[in-house]
Amino acid sequence: MKKYKLALIGAGSRGTAYANYTVKNPDKFEIVAVAEPHDVRRNSAKTRYNIPDEMCFKDYNEFFKMPKCADVVMICTLDDLHYDPAMKAIDKGYDILLEKPIAPTPEECIAITKAANEKGVNVLVCHVLRYTPFYRKLKDILDDGIIGEIINIIHCEAVGNIHYSHSYVRGNWRNTTVGAPMLLAKSCHDIDLLQWLIGKKCTKVQSFGALTHFTPENQPEGAPDRCTDGCRYSDSCYYYAPKLYLEKHKGWFDYAATKIKNPTDEQILEALRTTSYGKCVYKSDNNVVDHQVVNMQFEDNCTVSFTMSAFNEGGRNMRIMGTKGEIWADLTEDYIKIYDFKTQNTNIINVYEKNVDGTISGGHGGGDTGIMNDLYEFLSGTYNGKSIAEINVSNDNHLIVFAAEKSRLENIVVDFEEYKKSLMP
């Protein structure tokens, strides 16, 4: 069994999620280098993956000055820092495991795709929902024609009000000047998933959405701009930061806020006093939408309605209507329910032994592990699955997202092929 060498660019939560696979599967992969500007994260990766001092870099540019030393570069930096390391890795001839999104602009997505094609390197984008046992099973059911031809789909990504407040009001993805639009940052998973399940090309896109609730106009009277400054609504506010970060969500939220593994309560409080994670959710510098609807038409007049919303408990569910039957699929509740028109019977399939955690902290329902398994098989030439998509497919699915954002901002229906042509250099 061949062991492949990986270099990790960005040792935050996503990079660590993929890199940790190597600890449990040392016969398949080893981490031979890390580039991470944050000292604690870099040193933690060095220790955990037994990386030599000389292969630990604060700046990824220093890594790329070296001769090629790995089989795959894993790029897990923040959204707006994907383009430069990806282009440098392609130029060096590295295959790439690239955290989604490809890049925050359509022009950069197209440039990365073009460069990868010209260089002949593989770029696998981390659309991890494709790699979950749940959606693999759903894909098999659809491909087997059990409900006939897909006519239309209703799909919902319920982000969860607390998750939204953490990541998209207070966190790294709160503002399009430093991150990507909400649909790209969060829901390019879902747009990719829909195209993959349908297996046809998108032809038209329409979208509506806005930032409605998490705005200064909705800040309670007399509430301070920071939760730690003595908020009179601390007992009643759903988003009171000390309660969320010190009590209810300790373990994920506190690490994101402090950049410290297992921080003390005082370190968490200091982060809440000094960073965006302690701001009132109604007085942050966020500008991404808190709800959005995307209508899509695919070939053969297959139609899709996708909803992303912050105002819920969280989870993903899908209703797929075909010529021979209907499917209800709920990842969080773990059921695929199939209604057969001919027999008028309903069959319920449970993929997992217990309800699955489809969130980031839960490994995306097995998707984080699944993509690493498939990466190994792909590299070793033994892959015969359906989940891996080459960069051109991923690029098209990203462009659907950008077309939706164009539609939302300009209040138009976008002809997808014409939109793609308009972007070509």
- The CATH number of the domain holding residue 201 is 3.30.360.10
Q: Answer yes or no: do 153 and 297 share one domain.
A: yes
Indicate if 174 and 301 belong to the same structural domain. Answer: yes
d(CA 49, CA 23) in angstroms, rounded, equals 7
Q: Are residues 134 and 121 in the same domain?
A: no
pLDDT given at position 105: 94
pLDDT at position 285: 96
Q: Is the pLDDT of residue 353 over 70?
A: no
347 falls within a domain: yes
pLDDT in tens, 376-418: 999 999 999 999 988 999 999 999 999 999 999 999 999 999 9
Q: Is residue 225 part of a domain?
A: no
Mean pLDDT of 43-67: 97
Which whole number is the average pLDDT over 233-257? Answer: 86
For residue 133, say if its preceding peptide bond is cis, omega within 30 degrees of 0. Answer: no
Supply the pLDDT for residue 425. 75
137 and 114 assigned to the same domain: no
Indicate whether 359 pLDDT > 60: no
The verdict on 85 and 191 lying in the same domain is no
Q: Considering all CA atoms of the chain, what is the largest pairwise distance in Å, rounded to the nearest integer?
A: 66
Q: Is the pLDDT of residue 366 over 90?
A: no
pLDDT band at 113 (very low <50, low <70, confident <90, very high): very high
Strand 325-330 and strand 335-340: pairing? antiparallel
Share of the chain above pLDDT 90, in %: 86
pLDDT at 256: 83
Shared-domain flag, residues 92 and 155: no
Mean pLDDT of 338-367: 78
Within-domain flag for 109: yes
What number of other Cβ atoms are within 10 A of residue 236's Cβ? 9
CA distances from 295 to 153, 254, 323 (A): 10, 36, 20
Fill in the DSSP letter of residue 65: T
| Cβ neighbours, 10 Å, residue 391 | 23
Give 336's strand partners: 329, 349
DSSP-based three-state secondary structure for 153: strand
Number of domains in the chain: 3
Based on the fold, state whether residues 194 and 299 are members of the same structural domain.
yes
CATH number at residue 50: 3.40.50.720
Among 261, 268, 253, residue whose Cα is nearest residue 48: 261
Q: Which of 278-282, 358-362, 418-422 has the lowest mean pLDDT?
A: 358-362
Q: Is residue 224 assigned to a domain? A: no
Residues 210 and 77 in one domain: no
Confidence of residue 179 (pLDDT cuts 50, 70, 90): confident
Is the predicted pLDDT of residue 178 greater than 80, yes or no? no
Instruction: Specify whether the CB–CB gap between 62 and 7 falls below 8 A.
Output: no
Predicted confidence at residue 345, as pLDDT, reads 98
Average pLDDT value for residue range 232-260? 87
The domain of 102 spans 4-125
Question: Do 111 and 148 lie in a common domain?
Answer: no
Distance CA 79, CA 97 (A): 14
Q: How high does pLDDT run on average in the chain?
A: 94
Give pLDDT, residue 424: 84
Does the pLDDT at position 68 exceed 90? yes
Question: How distant is the alpha carbon of residue 421 from its chain centre?
Answer: 26
Query: E strand or H helix at 237, and its extent?
Result: none
Of residues 353 and 239, more confidence is placed in: 239
Residue 320 and residue 187 share a domain: yes
Tell me, what's the pLDDT at 363? Answer: 56
Angle of helix 13-24 versus helix 367-380 axis, rounded to 10? 60
The Cα 208–Cα 186 span in angstroms is 16
In a domain, 379, yes or no: no
Residue-wise pLDDT for 299-313, tens only, equals: 999 999 999 999 999
Question: Residue 261 has what pLDDT?
Answer: 77
Greater confidence (262 vs 73) lies with 73
Residue 264, pLDDT > 60, answer: yes
Residue 49 lies in a domain: yes
What strand order describes the sheet that includes 56-57?
Answer: 56-57, 29-35, 4-9, 72-75, 95-98, 123-125
pLDDT score for 325: 98
Give the pLDDT of residue 78. Answer: 86
pLDDT class for 245, splitting at 50, 70, 90? very high
Q: Contact 79/13 with Cβ under 8 angstroms?
A: no
pLDDT of residue 355: 56
Domain co-membership, 303 together with 162: yes
